[in-house]
Amino acid sequence: MNDQQAVANALRCLQIIKEHPAESHEISQATGLPFTTCAQLLQRMHHAGLIDINDEGRFLLERPIDELSPLDILDAVWETFIDALPLRMLFGPAERTQRAVAVAQRTNRYMSDGGLA
């Protein structure tokens, strides 16, 4: 899934959650996204603070959708576990290193300025 698809899919998930709190499988069915793709996006948006999970396991918006900026959604979709990147760069295959460099460039976070520490 490329970045444009990820953003479009995240927006579809947010639209479903805006209508009513829903479980991940319900959001997957409503959007037509494969469950694993939907679950990954929901996890990223939860980690970024855009959505929350209630006691019943349903996702809901952290704040009104009108208050979300495009940058909020991009940050959530492009979210990575930054702490793990230096290890991947040191010990992972070349393709992982190239991906880590691409993420650093896209997010403007570099080890040299403490962005990946």
Cβ 79 vs Cβ 48: under 8 Å: yes
Looking at the whole model, is its pTM more than 0.75?
A: no
Same domain, 55 and 92: no
Domain range for 88: 82-113
Same domain, 44 and 64: yes
Same domain, 31 and 63: yes
We report the CATH number of the domain holding residue 44 as 1.10.10.10
Q: List the pLDDT tens digit at each of the 117 positions of the chain.
A: 667 888 899 999 999 999 999 999 999 999 999 999 999 999 999 988 999 999 999 999 999 989 988 888 888 887 554 444 554 455 455 555 566 666 767 776 655 555 544
Same domain, 57 and 98: no
Same domain, 56 and 42: yes
Total domains present in the chain: 2
Same domain, 69 and 20: yes
Cβ 12 vs Cβ 31: under 8 Å: yes
